[in-house]
Structure 1
């Protein structure tokens, strides 16, 4: 029993460490990409972006909530919607991957639309009916920021979708193969 408890403790610690590392790394990439899009060169530096990512997490953990360490619990109501919105954005990337290779996209476009629309609607519902009446400014701020970032990503996707035939025509004119998929048959 003692060995089992020790092994489980190591597994939980490993899971927590790898999750924290992955989340920080992904947040650093997002900050770098946003900084690049906004034209802020200093934000594209990996050390600056990592400092911002860790600083935001630390500020939430220390300063949010009624006592230090309660910040993560305060943000827990955002987890479900943000998790599903992330799935919708991943499906959006997959839709563009298939479209670029002239493959059918409906099988992913329909779930993508649902995964972008329904969690956003749920978050707006929570903003209006729960967080605003309770004056929960941390959730209001983060929820609004997530919705703005989602709208930005969807706007970028709509812009690219409109240009997709032109981009594919240009690639064909430059002699690029119709599919860059290494598994495609010649």
Structure 2
């Protein structure tokens, strides 16, 4: 069982690093930064934040204990992960809607996940406001991003009023 867990962790880390490297290389290509086009440099830049989060010990403002930086950010990780799920469901819902296919099996989970994520972020932001400015700031940024995402989805719906009746 341990081999399976380690294998899963290793492949997940490898995949995440590759995706970050590809994004950095595409960014370097788009804005013409030649150093980012090098795959080794892009990989090093992609790995540095993970190393910092894993190795850097900081004082957790919530507890006052010394801990790894990654554990301090952990409380908002789940919400950011759920935002990706909501984004995926929103994009699929809009795509199916434009294709005039059944959309409710996607739209209902999208609405639930969006509401739950936004509620969680607001509750956490209130609790972080007093003693953890870093997580409060990250929470506020995530709240703005999910609201922006929802507005973008509404804009697409409004621009395609002909199909609104079929929803």
Give the TM-score normalised by structure 2.
0.69
Residues 21-30 or 97-106, more deviating: 21-30
Deviation sequence 1:31-74 (CA, Å, 0-9, x none) = 788x69xx855498584765554333233334462399712211
Structure 1 residue 154 and structure 2 residue 143: aligned?
Answer: no
Equivalent in the alignment of 1:81: 79
How many angstroms apart in 2 are the aligned matches of 1:32 and 1:165? Answer: 39
1:127 maps to which of 120, 125, 128: 125
Structure 2 CA distance for partners of 1:80 and 1:10, relative to 1, 3 Å: same
Shift, 1:127, TM fit: 0.9
Number of residues paired by the alignment?
Answer: 155
In the TM superposition, 1:62-73 aligns within 5 A as 62-63=55-56, 65-66=58-59, 70-73=68-71
2:4 to 11, 19, 24: 11
1:65 counterpart SS class:
strand
Q: CA deviation at 1:104?
A: 2.4
Gaps of 5+ in 1: 1-7, 169-186
Residues 56 and 68 of structure 1, relative CA distance in 2, 3 Å threshold: farther
Residue 101 of structure 1 is aligned with which of 89, 99, 102? 99
Counterparts in 2 of 1:146 and 1:26: CA distance versus 1, 3 Å: farther
Structure 1 residue 14, shift from structure 2 partner:
1.0
Q: Structure 1 residues 42 and 151 mapped into 2: Cα distance closer, same or farther (>3 Å)?
A: farther
- What is the root-mean-square deviation in Å for CA atoms of aligned residues? 3.6
SS of the residue corresponding to residue 132 of structure 1 reads helix
Mapped pair 1:140 → 2:136: yes
Aligned to 1:180: none
C-alpha spacing 1:69/1:25, structure 2 compared with 1 (3 Å): farther
TM-score scaled by length of structure 1: 0.63
CA contact (8 A) 2:80 2:142 kept: yes
